[in-house]
Amino acid sequence: MQSLPLSSSGFDPGREAEALLVAELAGGRTVLRRQHVGYPFHVTRPFQLDRMRPELATLYLQSASGGFYAGDRLKLDIVVGAQAALNLTTQASTVVHDGRGIGAVQRQSVTVRGRAFCAIVSDPYVLFPGAALSVETTAEVADDAILIMADGFAVHDPQRRGGLFERFSTRTRILRPDGTRVVFDGGSMSGPELRGRFGTLGGMAAAGTVFMIAPADRLPDLAEIEAVCDRCGCLAGASAAPNGAGLAMRLLAPDGGALTRGIEAAFHLAGRAALGIELARRRK
């Protein structure tokens, strides 16, 4: 009798998957008017966690597969309708596995319509040895709308053998509805560039970025948002975003835990400035 290999023993070339979420205001609350979520994406029902702002819906985006794998090509489209309010967050950090020379890509398209609020706050990606991930985001934000985006990465070598990730790159474009480009941000780094205290991250093992696109009177104080992140164990640097669009901030941290706390603190301060309330804790 011939012994055949298990189907799982071959190399999986990766997956292509798309998710679409359309949030709109209805009856004083933000609801998911449309959703199409393919594997490995999974979303919970919307939660109303903030009693003072019942229109604000919080939605947890989950991965049912255990992270990013070589060859993954995932796409996420988010539309927040006029006057709606949506906070999309993750249930935990997402592991990025060995990219096997081809890596993984996540593309995100975000549309925030007039007087809407959208906060996309992700726990850091965890880069395992050999990991290669590219995150590409295009956001269209109305002049009177608010968009908060926060994410980052942390390096992890579970075997403690000095393994390094291959590459992490991001590209973010933020536009107005007429196509005017207000912010363009991009960067890329490899694992070897992080070596030593004089590496790209100055000896740190985690880094993140926060954008807040909002009218000037809905922005937090730059010094205050830096200080609140510093108290979480991060090194934070905030500045005005180009074209008067809002603010931008970089975070460095010694590990993923400190970075997660810094991102969470920045989100709560930015949310308070935007919505005028202290937001409830988003339990993970």
What pLDDT shows up at residue 12?
Answer: 53
As a whole number, mean pLDDT of residues 251-264 equals: 98
pLDDT for position 131: 98
What does the pLDDT read at residue 11?
A: 46
39, 51 contact by CB (below 8 A): no
Q: Where does 24-144 have alpha helices with state H?
A: none
80 pLDDT above the threshold of 50: yes
* Alpha carbons 41 and 46: distance in angstroms, whole number: 15
* Percentage of residues of the chain with pLDDT beyond 70: 95
pLDDT value at residue 198 = 81
The answer on pLDDT for 5 being more than 90 is: no
**Least confident among 62-66, 99-103, 207-211, 271-275:** 62-66
Does pTM top 0.85 for this prediction? yes
At 13 the pLDDT is: 61
Is residue 4's pLDDT more than 90? no
Non-local (6+) Cβ contacts of 155 within 8 A are 127, 164, 165, 191, 194, 205, 206
Tell me the per-residue pLDDT of 38-59, one tens digit each, with 9 for 90 and over.
899 999 999 999 999 999 999 9
- pLDDT higher than threshold 70 for residue 67: yes
pLDDT of 37 over the 80 cut: yes
Residues with Cβ within 8 Å of residue 198, at least 6 apart in sequence: none
Cα–Cα distances (Å) from 119 to 78, 143, 148, in that order, read: 11, 16, 4
DSSP reduced 3-state for 80: strand
Q: What is the mean pLDDT of residues 242-257?
A: 97
Mean pLDDT computed over every residue of the chain: 94
- Mean pLDDT of the region 155-176: 95
Residue-wise pLDDT tens digits, 181-218: 999 999 999 999 988 778 999 999 999 999 999 999 99
Residue 66 clears pLDDT 50, i.e. is over it? yes
The structure tokens listed for 206 are 């985690």
Whether the pLDDT of residue 36 is over 70: the answer is yes
The answer on pLDDT for 60 being more than 70 is: yes
Q: Among the listed ranges 4-18, 63-77, 132-146, 265-279, which one has the minimum average pLDDT value?
A: 4-18
Mean pLDDT of 76-99: 97
Question: How confident is the model over 80-96, as a mean pLDDT?
Answer: 97
What is the rounded radius of gyration, in angstroms, for the C-alpha atoms of the chain? 19
**Beta strands, E only, the chain:** 16-26, 29-37, 41-43, 56-63, 73-80, 85-90, 94-96, 104-112, 117-121, 125-127, 132-141, 146-155, 167-175, 181-190, 206-213, 235-240, 246-253
